Structures are given as C-alpha cells and as structure tokens.
Amino acid sequence: MKKKCLSLLLAMTLSLGLLGGCGNSAQAEPDTQSAAEENRETGAETEAQEENEVSDNAEDLAKEDTEDVTVKVASLKGPTSMGLVKLWKDQEEGNAKGNYEFNMMTGADEIMPLMIKGDVDIALLPANAAAILYEKSKGAVAVIDINTLGVLYMVSGDESITSVEDLQGKTIYLTGKGTTPDYALQYLLAQHNMDLSQVTLEYKSEATEVAAVLKENPDGIGLLPQPFVTAACAQNEALAVVLDINEEWEKLNEGKGLVTGVTVVRKAFLEEHPEAVDLFMEEHEASAAFANSNVEEAAELVAARGIVEKAPVAAKAMPACNITYIDGEEMKEALSGYLNVLFGQNPEFVGGTLPEDDFYVIR
C-alpha cells in the first residue's frame, strides 16, 4: 500500500513538473518575440541615427566649404553692379551667408583676362562678351544666370529722330567698339537696310564720356545704357529718349528682347566649390530682388558705390535698368536665342562660333 501511495505521489509530482515546464515554455515565447522586436527597433533607430549623422556631416562639410572659400566677384560699373549692391553691403557688414570679394570695373576687357588667369571666380559681363570668353578660354567658363535685360536707349535733343531710319547720315556716340551697344546698333541698322557707311560711329571708352558730349551738344545722338540715360537727361533738360533699343529689338524678334548682362563662373571653381556657387546664386537673386523692390534704399547704396553720382538720379533710373535674376532652362532659352541673333548678324559678335550646351549651367 505504501508503495502504491509512493508511486502515485511520484507520478503526480512528475505531472506537475511537466505542466510547469509547459507553462514556462509558453511564457518564454512572447518574451523572446519581445526581445527580437526590441532588437529590430534598436537597429532601426541606430540606422536612422547613422543616416542623420551622415546627413549632418555632409551639411557641416558644405558649410565649412562655403565658410572657408572666398569667392572673387567682378562686375561692371552699371546695372550689373546695381543688382549686387545689397549683397555687397551684407558682405562688408558680416551679414552675407557666403564670403565674397567684390571688385567693380569699367570694361569687360579688364575682367576677361582675370577670369582666364583664375584671378576672378565669378563675373558679371555683357552677354556677347561671355560667349567670347567661352571661346577664348576653350570652354573654361559657364553662365549661371541672366542679371540684366534691355537697358539701351538712344538719347538726343534732336526731335526729328523717331525711327532707326532717321539715324541715316547722323553721328552717333557710343561706348567702346565690340561692346553690347555697338553690336546692338549694327544689328538694328542692318535690319533696316543700312550699313556703317551711312552713319558715323564715335566710340568712347565709358558711358560717362558719351553723357559729357551730350551735355555740351544736346543735338548730338548718344547710345547709352541706364542709369547713364537718366543722368544725361538730368544734366541737360534738352535731352530725351528718342528710341528704346529694347523695343526696336523686340519688333524684329517676335517680342524677344535684348539680354544685356549675364553671370559667368569658372568651371574649375564650380567643380571645386559647388556649394559656394549655389550660395552665391541664392544671394545674388535676393540682392537683385531687393534692388527692384526697395528702390530708394538701393539707390542710396548705388550712389555710395559711385555707380551713379546721386541717389535721386539712381532711384529714377533703376526701374528702367531691367535688373533681374533668371537661371535654369529659362536662362538658357533667352540667352541662346539672343546669341543666335548676334551670330546670324556676324559670327565675330559671339567669338566666331556659338557656345556648346556646356556653356549653360542648369541647376
């Protein structure tokens, strides 16, 4: 009897042990699943953390690049520099995002050799000069934006001039041979069945010299860009705009106007410091917008730079200066169309050949 009781007790003990074991196994399963899920979540968090760190490092490197490099910028005395005055001021006051060294010159022929030598990184030039520079540098430069549209006007006290044909037999004063005013005028004359033998072109080195001639002789005819048009008319009340060259151009080109100024960059600099170039484009766009929307304040900065002698004259001229910022495909379409017109008139106007697609930076 004792043996039977002992056997029964042993059997019950084993059964309870087995039941306990099954119970522990059932509890262990969710614990294992929970641990696996935790591991996966931890792994995902670690991966996301690593991705964020990589992104942050890339941003830090880009920031370091823009902070360490000084972008050397050259522009011409006139509307192209007027669109830069706010950024120029920000740079001097330490408020610009990038680091810039600005230099304003009077002629494209001063800037172009500096670009070829690498002494200037970004330059604001006449559109045709940019194409010529592309050819001379064997494709070492590219355009990043259009900064100025049509700014040319024929100024005179001679009220008999109301059309391009009325220029026949006249003497016209304009800035240097091979500049935008020269090419634009020659194109208009040719399109109205006139050649250079039917007019006399008197070239001056600067627009201020043309304005000085008109001040003394209001019956003379001068081809001037803004803001020098407004300055000349302010100096002599007998003077007025007799022809809007941009309008005359549009009449001949299905409403497409002149592209006066563009911004070019050395390709080597762009490849080495793409973030710095992107930042310049961003700040250039903002500076141009400021010039157009805050005319009075921008005019003070323009006068302070000596671009125009007096702020009130600058304020009056700026709305007619066509300061702009156009990049991307729109820039390429407008500029390539303009260069095609010049090339059709005379291939030498754009350096002998039209630029290839790598002339246009689409970002």
- Domain boundaries, position 202: 152-252
Q: What is the pTM of this model?
A: 0.77
**Could you tell me which residue, 52 or 287, shows the higher pLDDT?**
287
**What are the E-state strand segments in 2-132?**
70-76, 99-105, 122-126
Count of the separate structural domains present in the chain: 2
- The pLDDT tens digits for 69-81 are 999 999 998 888 9
Task: Give 74's strand partners.
Answer: 103, 123
> Are 175 and 265 members of one domain?
no
| pLDDT classification of 92: cutoffs 50, 70, 90 | very high
Q: What is the pLDDT of residue 138?
A: 96
More confident residue, 212 or 123: 123
- Is 153 within 8 Å of 244 (Cβ atoms)? yes
CB 168, CB 221: distance < 8 Å? no
Task: Summarize the confidence of residues 159-178 as an average pLDDT.
Answer: 91
**For residue 36, is it within any domain?**
no
The DSSP code sequence of 75-98 is: EETTHHHHTTHHHHHHHHTT--SS
Using the 3D structure, point to which of 252, 275, 290 is the last residue of a domain: 252
Three-state DSSP class for 218? coil
Instruction: Look at residue 85 and tell me if it is in a domain.
Output: yes
What pLDDT is attached to residue 19? 38
In a domain, 120, yes or no: yes
The answer on 236 and 285 residing in a single domain is no
Strand order from edge to edge, sheet including 221-225: 200-204, 171-175, 221-225, 152-156, 240-244
Q: What gap in Å lies between CA 77 and CA 12, rounded to an integer?
A: 106
- pLDDT classification of 14: cutoffs 50, 70, 90: very low
Average pLDDT over residues 251-273: 94
246 and 292 assigned to the same domain = no
Higher pLDDT, 237 or 55: 237
Angle at the Cα of 77 (from 312 to 133), degrees rounded to 5? 150
Q: Residue 271 pLDDT > 80, yes or no?
A: yes
Whether 37 shows a pLDDT value over 60: the answer reads: no
We report the CATH number of the domain holding residue 307 as 3.40.190.10
Answer whether residue 180 is part of any domain. yes
Supply the mean pLDDT for the chain.
Answer: 85
- Pairwise CA distance, residues 156 & 25, whole Å: 103
Whether residues 243 and 269 fall in one domain: no
Rounded CA-CA distance 129/108 in Å is 7
Q: What pLDDT score was predicted for residue 140?
A: 97
Co-location of 277 and 351 in the same domain: yes
**pLDDT at position 323 over 60:** yes
- Fill in the amino acid letter for 324: T
Q: How confident is the model at residue 308 (pLDDT cuts 50, 70, 90)?
A: confident
Distance (Å, rounded) from C-alpha 189 to C-alpha 221?
15
Question: What pLDDT is recorded for position 350?
Answer: 93
